[in-house]
């Protein structure tokens, strides 16, 4: 009897093998139940599961595809994987799930969501990008929600203020590898007067709403921002208007503080001089929410004593101290890839040689 098909390798970068057959995995290969997938250094794989969910696996990882059943008649996914080591990103396709990912220190229950996992040195770290996962360990059960990070070791389990540097590095390296094929993909052409560029999205973003996805080009690499119209519809609409006017192209990061925020969006800023409070001339009324400014959230800047003074300036939350902004500023987006480039910005306040955004675009305008 043939083994149950679990999914298909949508993209393979460098050295990925299956232990059961001892052979390399190639793009387009099918993967079956009870197969062990192993990625070597500087290698990654994106697997499209039977229900079209995406499972991206980073370098130096080992995952056992125990079982996955997509009951098309019931429109539901059941099963379990075992993750022995490494980094993964899981993004569901919206089909109801009753599915488990088991690690040496925790069991993660999936109901349909997007999250990252790092298993390393006897610990399990879970960072939820969207939705809710249930993490069970010897220390109890925890619901981990959008923007939260939960860490389980052999000694304790607790929420963390932000992802560990190890997780951030592992996930971002995986995303970069899958996006550019390990550095062998052709480079996109520079922007001409009339937009002709086509973007190749990281595989796990393929199912995102391209109309509500921005790509921010920095000299070091691309940052992808998912817009959140459900939180701040007026802000999102205005941001897209400004982006399509190419308003943000070339604007500087005029304020960067480590583990706090990186602020940009002021066209009046003069390097080494004045500015930092300018804008487009159109104010936006506040759309405050309870969404916390965890690492990667994007919020709108405003004047200190005027909640309705937001314009074009905005900030990226870089770490735990940004939580002091919770409920006081409008959250309108979140970084879903490229966070390492933002965290690498040099701390500065009105610098003489600021780092800049090269271009900002709505992905729907570029994606083919």
Q: Looking at the structure, do residues 17 and 137 belong to the same domain, yes or no?
A: yes
Domain boundary among 171, 192, 226: 171
Around Cβ 352, how many Cβ atoms within 10 Å? 9
Q: If you write DSSP's letter for every residue of 276-311 in order, what string do you get?
A: SS---S--B-----S----TTEEEE---TT-TT-B-
Model pTM?
0.61
Would you state the pLDDT for residue 365? 87
Domain boundary among 122, 156, 171: 171
Look up residue 367 and give its DSSP letter: B
Q: Looking at the structure, do residues 155 and 248 belong to the same domain, yes or no?
A: no
Q: Looking at the structure, do residues 156 and 86 belong to the same domain, yes or no?
A: yes
Beta strands in 26-146 (DSSP E): 30-32, 35-39, 44-49, 54-57, 61-71, 76-91, 97-102, 107-110, 114-120, 123-130, 132-137, 140-145
Specify whether the CB–CB gap between 312 and 266 falls below 8 A.
yes
Residue 361 lies in a domain: yes
Q: Looking at the structure, do residues 158 and 221 belong to the same domain, yes or no?
A: no
What phi and psi, each to the nearest 5 degrees, are found at residue 111?
-120, 0
User: Which residues partner with 9 through β-bridges?
Assistant: 47
Specify whether the CB–CB gap between 281 and 242 falls below 8 A.
no
Q: Which residue is associated with the tokens 């093998």?
A: 17
Q: Looking at the structure, do residues 84 and 146 belong to the same domain, yes or no?
A: yes
Residue 185 lies in a domain: no
* pLDDT tens, residue order, the chain (368 aa): 445 778 899 999 999 998 765 679 998 888 888 889 999 998 999 999 888 888 999 999 999 988 777 665 556 778 889 999 999 999 887 777 888 999 999 999 987 788 999 999 889 999 887 788 999 999 999 999 877 889 999 999 999 877 888 888 888 788 878 876 554 333 333 333 345 456 778 878 888 899 999 999 998 889 999 999 999 999 999 999 999 988 999 999 999 999 999 999 998 888 866 666 788 888 999 999 999 999 999 999 999 899 999 999 999 999 999 999 999 999 999 999 999 999 999 998 988 889 999 999 999 988 65
Domain coverage including residue 257:
208-365
Q: Looking at the structure, do residues 313 and 231 belong to the same domain, yes or no?
A: yes
| Sign of torsion over alpha carbons 94, 335, 221, 174 | negative
Residue 159, domain CATH: 2.60.120.1440
3-state secondary structure of 342: helix
Q: What CA–CA distances, in Å, run from 25 to 11, 61, 203, 214?
A: 10, 14, 17, 32
Residue 181 lies in a domain: no
Residue 252, domain CATH: 2.40.100.10
What phi and psi, each to the nearest 5 degrees, are found at residue 84?
-90, -35
Q: Looking at the structure, do residues 164 and 266 belong to the same domain, yes or no?
A: no
């Amino acid at each position: 009897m043939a083994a149950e098909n679990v999914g298909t390798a949508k993209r393979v970068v460098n050295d990925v093998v299956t232990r059961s057959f001892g052979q390399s995995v190639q793009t387009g290969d099918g993967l079956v139940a009870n197969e062990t997938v192993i990625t070597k250094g500087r290698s990654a794989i994106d697997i499209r599961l039977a229900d079209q969910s995406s499972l991206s696996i980073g370098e130096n990882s080992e995952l056992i595809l125990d079982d996955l059943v997509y009951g098309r008649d019931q429109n539901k996914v059941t099963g379990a994987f075992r993750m022995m080591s490494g980094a993964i990103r899981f993004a569901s396709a919206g089909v109801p799930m009753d599915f488990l990912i088991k690690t040496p220190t925790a069991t993660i229950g999936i109901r349909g969501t997007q999250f990252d996992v790092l298993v390393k040195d006897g610990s399990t770290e879970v960072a939820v990008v969207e939705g809710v996962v249930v993490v069970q360990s010897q220390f109890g059960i925890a619901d981990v929600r959008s923007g939260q990070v939960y860490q389980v070791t052999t000694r304790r389990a607790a929420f963390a203020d932000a992802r560990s540097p190890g997780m951030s590095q592992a996930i971002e390296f995986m995303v970069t590898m899958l996006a550019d094929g390990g550095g062998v993909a052709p480079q996109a052409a520079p922007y001409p007067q009339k937009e002709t560029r086509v973007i190749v999205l990281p595989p796990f973003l393929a199912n995102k709403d391209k109309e509500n996805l921005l790509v921010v080009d920095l000299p070091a690499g691309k940052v992808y921002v998912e817009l959140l119209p459900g939180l701040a519809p007026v802000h999102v609409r205005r941001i897209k208007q400004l982006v399509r006017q190419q308003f943000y192209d070339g604007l500087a990061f005029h304020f960067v503080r480590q583990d706090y925020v990186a602020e940009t969006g002021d066209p009046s800023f003069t390097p080494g001089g004045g500015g930092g409070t300018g804008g487009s001339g159109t104010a936006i009324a506040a759309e405050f929410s309870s969404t916390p400014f965890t690492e990667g959230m994007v919020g709108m800047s405003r004047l200190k004593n005027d909640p309705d003074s937001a314009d074009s300036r905005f900030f990226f939350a870089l770490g735990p101290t940004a939580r002091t902004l919770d409920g006081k500023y409008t959250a309108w987006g979140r970084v879903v890839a490229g966070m390492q480039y933002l965290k690498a910005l040099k701390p500065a306040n009105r610098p003489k040689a600021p780092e800049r955004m090269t271009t900002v675009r709505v992905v729907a305008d570029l994606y083919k």
